[in-house]
């Protein structure tokens, strides 16, 4: 697991049943594009978060394929429908095989 | 011609330096679009791509894509070394077929969004983003 | 070809530095709660300015928006990392910052707003970074952090957040006066092959464009700053080092007495602006 990779997610604490809410996600990750060269002129190999998914109570909300053109510290904002109380699961997949996760609960009210 | 440092700074004022990517059709991008659409026709409209007219810095450019009734939206940067940017697939619990992110643009270029609609059609939107060379230190 | 008439014309325009492109009426409110003062009357000791403006004012609408919500602001994830560091036990004494300072929100409230400042025991002007390293070395028995490295920037961001919205208020007299005078002299000294002083750009030409950059007043109320250009937190000494390097001069080291003096002087030019750190800039 890469050092200093930390997710940061904003989910409202409550929602009305069936309401669409805005979710903001960010993860601290260098997103090495594979375009840069080091001081000796060697290409620094690509190493990025290549996929992000959000699921709610087992159902998919969004599935994003990320390419090297996504900026360092990838930010993804999207809307989710909240049919009932439950938990959002956020998953980021790294080129190096690491998987980062975060979860946020939401109540109906 | 004797240019003092003050003159150089004065000349620099108001000069906007642009890096302009080749403005020709991008073959690699066309292939990617064909792969996404399976060769189907792509029409304009039905998808919105929001991007700044002038990017404050090409390293981090905020964009938003939105297409009511879309299954997926693919974003390409036609002037980047490799065009793919991201593909957003909306699941059953998506609250809207829309998403925002921040992208890297190597220079002034067209950013393109292709939406795959749930009725099998494909829609397209494009936005020209000017990417400038910054001030001191670029 | 004589450039004198052109220079004169532009000098007239530059002399009346206007905020071209900046939306003066834009207000910065963070999370719908923290009202920031991004524009106010210049302090007396900044004699050549009538109004002072935060760097936020000079950025595009899109960049300004990034700072208005703590979940839009990419710098805030580094505050989270700073919080992890605050609680991490390190060094021979088996302590973390929290062991002595406990809750960061209480113990660090208002601290960033008055730094750099005089440390009576040490008998010198201290910056936040110096103080942090002093604690690490002498209280925790831990290794010092690189002065402008990521760990230090994260911690500075965590501590800055506890002063957000509060006015910058650094002392310029008393025991710090000598350092303040030294910083002031440096601010007006031309450096490098390009012979540019801080004042040439940030006092005489703020609001104008330098190539495609919208020049700010060079205030540091927003530090540490998340720059879109390098997508990470930057400390004030790292920025000073870069600015002087950009005049094609032999630049100074982060943490050097020169930069400590300069930081004190530049901070004082912003007395009255709100602490914004971590801010978002180009």
Share the mean pLDDT of chain C.
Answer: 92
Q: Is the pLDDT of residue A75 over 50?
A: yes
User: If 0-12 CB within 10 Å is exposed, 13-18 middle and 19+ buried, where does residue B12 land?
Assistant: middle
Place of tokens 């990517």: B21
> Which residues have CB under 8 Å from A23's CB, separation 6+?
A9, A10, A11, A54, A61, A77, A78, A79, A80, A88
Contact by Cβ (8 Å): A56, B93: yes
A28 with C81: Cβ contact below 8 A = yes
Q: Is the pLDDT of residue A43 over 80?
A: yes
- Cis bond leading into C224, ω under 30°? yes
Cβ of B96 under 8 Å from any chain C Cβ?
no
Two tokens, residue C92: 């021979």
Q: Chain C contacts of B56, Cβ < 8 Å?
A: 59-60, 62-63, 228, 282
Residue spans of beta strands (DSSP E) within A7-98: 7-10, 14-15, 19-27, 49-56, 59-66, 75-82, 86-94
- Rounded CA-CA distance C194/C247 in Å is 5
Share the mean pLDDT of chain A.
Answer: 96
- Rounded CA-CA distance C60/C23 in Å is 9
- In chain C, count H helices and then E strands: 11, 11
Mean pLDDT of C167-182: 97
Cβ of A93 under 8 Å from any chain B Cβ?
no
Give the residue from C2, C200, C212 with the most B CB atoms within 10 Å of its CB, the best one to mutate.
C212
Mean pLDDT of C237-243: 96
Q: What is the pLDDT of residue B134?
A: 73
- Rounded CA-CA distance A97/A95 in Å is 5
Contact by Cβ (8 Å): B99, A77: yes
Q: Smallest CA–CA separation between A80 and chain C, in Å? A: 17
Q: What is the pLDDT of residue C20?
A: 47
Q: Is the pLDDT of residue A1 over 60?
A: no
Q: Which of B3, B57, B62 sits opposite C282 (nearest CB)?
A: B57
C62 with B52: Cβ contact below 8 A = yes
C71 with A72: Cβ contact below 8 A = no
**What is the DSSP code (8-state) at residue A32?**
B
Two tokens, residue C251: 């630049």
Cβ of A59 under 8 Å from any chain B Cβ?
yes
Biggest distance spanned by C-alpha atoms of chain A: 59
- Going by pLDDT thresholds of 50, 70 and 90, the confidence category of residue C14 is very low
Whether the complex's predicted ipTM is more than 0.85 is answered with: yes
Q: Smallest CA–CA separation between B46 and chain C, in Å? A: 24
Q: Smallest CA–CA separation between C78 and chain A, in Å? A: 8
Q: Chain C contacts of B19, Cβ < 8 Å?
A: none
| Residues of C labelled catalytic | 243
**Any idea which of B33-37, C19-23, C187-191, C231-235 has the lowest mean pLDDT?**
C19-23
Q: What is the pLDDT of residue B23?
A: 47
> Which residues have CB under 8 Å from B119's CB, separation 6+?
B69
Task: Kindly report, residue by residue over C185-237, the tens digit of the pLDDT.
Answer: 999 999 999 999 999 999 999 999 988 889 999 999 999 999 999 999 999 99
Beta carbons within 10 angstroms of residue A50's beta carbon: 17
Q: Smallest CA–CA separation between A44 and chain B, in Å? A: 15
Cβ of A48 under 8 Å from any chain B Cβ?
no
Compute φ and ψ for C106, nearest 5 degrees: -85, -50
B95 with A80: Cβ contact below 8 A = yes
Give the residue from A3, A6, A13, A77 with the most C CB atoms within 10 Å of its CB, the best one to mutate.
A6
Two tokens, residue B138: 């670029």
Residues of A with CB under 8 A from a CB of C: 4, 6, 8-10, 24, 26-28, 71-73, 75
Q: Chain B contacts of C14, Cβ < 8 Å?
A: 10, 13
Q: Is the pLDDT of residue C9 over 60?
A: no
Residues of C with CB under 8 A from a CB of A: 69, 71-72, 74, 76-78, 80-81, 84, 150, 231-232
Task: Report percent pLDDT > 70 for chain C.
Answer: 91
Two tokens, residue C111: 């601290």
Task: Kindly report, residue by residue over C50-86, the tens digit of the pLDDT.
Answer: 999 999 999 999 999 999 999 999 999 999 999 999 9
More reliable by pLDDT, C9 or C77: C77
Q: Chain B contacts of A56, Cβ < 8 Å?
A: 93
Mean pLDDT of B106-113: 96
**3-state class of C281 per DSSP?**
strand
B101 with A65: Cβ contact below 8 A = no
Q: Which of C80, C84, C150 sits opposite A8 (nearest CB)?
A: C80
- Rounded CA-CA distance C227/C281 in Å is 5
Q: CA C159, C167, C40: angle at the middle one, nearest 5? A: 140
Helix axes C257-269, C177-187, angle to 10 degrees: 90
Task: Kindly report, residue by residue over B115-131, the tens digit of the pLDDT.
Answer: 999 999 999 999 999 99
Mean pLDDT of C123-150: 97
Task: Report percent pLDDT > 90 for chain C.
Answer: 89
For residue B63, the chain C residue with the least C-alpha distance is C62
Kind of pairing between the strands at B94-103 and B84-90: unpaired
């Amino acid at each position: 697991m890469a050092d200093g990779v930390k997710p940061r997610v904003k989910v409202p604490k409550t929602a009305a049943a069936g309401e669409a809410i805005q979710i903001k996600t960010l993860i601290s990750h260098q997103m090495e594009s594979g375009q840069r060269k080091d001081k000796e002129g060697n290409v620094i190999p690509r190493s990025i978060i290549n996929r992000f998914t959000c699921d709610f109570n087992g159902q998919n909300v969004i599935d994003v394929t990320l390419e090297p053109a996504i900026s360092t510290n990838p930010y993804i904002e999207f809307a989710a429908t909240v049919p009932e109380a439950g938990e959002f699961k956020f998953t980021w997949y790294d080129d190096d095989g690491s998987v980062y996760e975060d979860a946020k609960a939401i109540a109906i009210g | 011609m004797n240019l003092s440092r003050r003159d150089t700074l004065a000349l620099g004022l108001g000069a906007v330096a642009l890096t302009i990517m080749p403005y020709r059709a991008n073959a690699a991008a066309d292939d990617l679009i064909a792969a996404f659409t399976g060769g189907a026709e792509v029409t304009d409209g039905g998808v919105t791509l929001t991007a700044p007219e002038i990017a404050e810095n090409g390293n981090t450019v905020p964009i938003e894509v939105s297409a009511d009734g879309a299954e997926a939206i693919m974003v390409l940067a036609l002037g980047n070394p490799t065009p793919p940017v991201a593909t957003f697939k909306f699941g059953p619990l998506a609250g809207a077929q829309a998403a925002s992110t921040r992208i890297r643009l190597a220079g002034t270029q067209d950013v393109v969004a292709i939406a795959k609609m749930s009725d099998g059609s494909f829609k397209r939107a494009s936005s020209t983003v000017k990417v400038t060379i910054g001030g001191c230190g670029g | 070809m004589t450039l004198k008439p052109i220079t004169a014309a532009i000098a007239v325009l530059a002399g009346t530095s206007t905020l071209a492109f900046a939306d003066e009426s834009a207000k910065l409110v963070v999370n719908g709660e923290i009202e920031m003062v991004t524009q106010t009357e210049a302090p007396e000791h900044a004699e050549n300015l009538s109004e002072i403006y935060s760097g936020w004012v000079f950025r595009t609408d899109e960049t300004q928006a990034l700072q208005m919500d703590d979940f839009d602001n990419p710098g805030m994830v580094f505050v989270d990392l700073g919080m992890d560091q605050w609680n991490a036990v390190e060094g021979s004494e088996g302590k973390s910052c929290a062991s002595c300072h406990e809750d960061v929100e209480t113990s660090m409230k208002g601290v960033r707003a008055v730094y750099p400042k005089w440390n009576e025991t040490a008998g010198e002007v201290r910056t936040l970074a110096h103080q942090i390293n002093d604690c690490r070395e002498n209280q925790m028995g831990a290794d010092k952090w690189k002065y402008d490295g990521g760990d230090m920037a994260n911690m500075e961001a965590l501590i800055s957040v506890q002063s957000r919205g509060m006015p910058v208020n650094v002392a310029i007299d008393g025991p710090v006066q000598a350092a303040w005078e030294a910083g002031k002299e440096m601010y007006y000294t031309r450096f490098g092959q390009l012979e540019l002083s801080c004042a040439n750009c940030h006092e005489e030409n703020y609001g104008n464009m330098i190539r495609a950059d919208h020049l700010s007043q060079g205030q540091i109320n927003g530090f540490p700053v998340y720059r879109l250009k390098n997508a990470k937190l930057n400390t004030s000494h790292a920025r000073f080092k870069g600015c002087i390097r950009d005049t094609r001069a032999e630049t100074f080291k982060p943490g050097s007495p020169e930069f400590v003096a300069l930081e004190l002087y530049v901070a004082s030019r912003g007395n009255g602006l709100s602490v914004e750190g971590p801010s978002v800039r180009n």
